[in-house]
């Protein structure tokens, strides 16, 4: 395969509905994968702690329905990460129920549905702390203490590409993931097809917020990323948007103090 194309319709699936015009235009190009991230830190820790959604369930179902119908029509894989805003086990189960309901409602032909969970047992974490395996704090924060662990109601790990690739290797047509690194959702598809790590992770980095990498600003519009063995191209699918050097480079600075480094489970993408 000389190139691989992935479309992303929404930077936070379900938080506001997919704009169907640009999504359907993207689907018409016959991409190889349809993928989206459903999680965010913007909603704060409350939904994770309470194990509830921040996004309206009707909007989440709307987005899943659009993606599932398109993916099954094209016979291409559909990948979702950080299900239900937080990626807890119950949110994965909720998405699985929605997928099954949508499939039954539309009488879709059988397909292989795969999923993984990201929640981590508190006592396993406690055992790590007591055995001397520190749970390191990020950005110069102190290591996790047992007192902080006791005050914690729920823990999710941040999955990298590995569970997504495993499920793709097993032939899954639809993948519903627990809490995940945003870029890993897309990078996994490219890595699974044999593309280089650096280009694959950059593809994930630029696609994860959908149309945030385009100009002028327009949320919830679809973008398409295309990867080859030596480069990545991204195209805005809304007719009023375009991806420029400035808009794509600017997105690399989004939500980070250092625009050159993207850390994921298993390594770091150097964008210098």
With pLDDT > 90 as the criterion, what percentage of the chain qualifies? 82
Give the pLDDT score at 119: 97
* 119-154 pLDDT per residue, tens: 999 999 999 999 999 999 988 899 999 999 999 999
DSSP state for residue 15 in the 8-state scheme: T
Total of domains in the chain:
1
Residue 66 belongs to some domain of the structure: yes
Report pLDDT for 235.
95
Query: pLDDT tier at 213 (50, 70, 90 boundaries)?
Result: confident
pLDDT value of residue 57: 97
Residue 202 lies in a domain: yes
* 128 within a domain of the structure (yes/no): no
Residue indicated by tokens 């001397």: 132
pLDDT digits (tens, 9 = 90+) for 41-92: 889 999 999 999 999 999 999 999 999 999 999 999 999 999 999 999 999 9
Asked if pLDDT for residue 257 goes beyond 80, the answer is no
In a domain, 143, yes or no: no
Residue span of the structural domain in which 211 resides:
4-119+154-270
Q: CA dihedral in degrees (239, 243, 244, 245; nearest 10)?
A: 180
Q: Which two tokens stand for residue 198?
A: 């650096």
Q: What gap in Å lies between CA 139 and CA 127, rounded to an integer?
A: 24
Is the pLDDT assigned to residue 261 strictly greater than 90? no
The whole-model pTM stands at 0.95
Tokens of 247: 């808009």
Mean pLDDT score of the chain, rounded to an integer?
Answer: 94
pLDDT value, residue 262: 83
Tokens at 269, concatenated: 């993408």
Element (H, E) at 55: none
Instruction: Say what the pLDDT of residue 242 is.
Output: 95
Kindly indicate the confidence band of residue 251, based on its pLDDT and cuts at 50, 70 and 90: confident
Report pLDDT for 218: 78
Query: Distance between CA atoms of 160 and 168, rounded to whole angstroms?
Result: 14
pLDDT at 111: 99
Token couple for 110: 């059988």
Question: Is residue 39 included in any domain, yes or no?
Answer: yes
Contact 168, 71 (CB under 8 A): no
- Nearest to 161, CA basis, from 206, 212, 123, 205: 205
Confirm whether 131 is domain-assigned: no
Question: Sign (positive/negative) of CA torsion 40, 46, 47, 48?
Answer: positive
The answer to whether 229 touches 196, Cβ cutoff 8 Å, is yes
Helix H or strand E encompassing 16: none
Q: Has residue 149 been placed in a domain?
A: no
Q: What whole-number distance in Å separates Cα of residue 93 and Cα of residue 73?
A: 24
Question: Residue 97 above 90 pLDDT?
Answer: yes
In a domain, 127, yes or no: no
């Amino acid at each position: 395969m000389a190139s691989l194309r992935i479309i992303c319709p929404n930077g936070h699936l379900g938080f506001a509905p997919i704009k169907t015009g640009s999504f359907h235009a993207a689907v018409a190009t016959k991409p190889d994968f349809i993928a989206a991230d459903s999680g965010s830190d913007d909603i704060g820790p409350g939904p994770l702690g309470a194990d509830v959604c921040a996004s309206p369930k009707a909007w989440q179902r709307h987005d899943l329905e659009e993606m599932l119908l398109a993916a099954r029509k094209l016979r291409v894989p559909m990948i979702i990460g950080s299900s239900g805003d937080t990626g807890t086990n119950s949110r994965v189960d909720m998405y699985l129920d929605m997928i099954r309901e949508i499939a039954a409602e539309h009488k879709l032909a059988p397909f292989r549905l795969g999923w993984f969970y990201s929640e981590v047992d508190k006592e396993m974490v406690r055992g790590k702390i007591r055995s001397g395996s520190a749970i390191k704090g990020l950005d110069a924060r102190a290591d996790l203490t047992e007192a902080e662990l006791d005050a914690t109601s729920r823990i999710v790990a941040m999955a990298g590409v590995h569970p997504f690739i495993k499920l793709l290797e097993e032939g899954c047509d639809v993948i519903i993931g627990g809490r995940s690194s945003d870029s890993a959702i897309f990078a996994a598809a490219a890595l699974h097809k044999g593309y280089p790590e650096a280009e694959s992770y950059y593809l994930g980095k630029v696609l994860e917020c959908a149309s945030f990498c385009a100009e002028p600003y327009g949320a919830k519009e679809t973008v398409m990323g295309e990867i080859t063995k030596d480069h990545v191209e991204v195209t805005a699918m809304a007719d009023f948007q375009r991806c420029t050097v400035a808009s794509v480079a600017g997105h690399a600075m989004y939500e980070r103090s250092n625009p050159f480094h993207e850390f994921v489970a298993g390594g770091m993408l150097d964008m210098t």
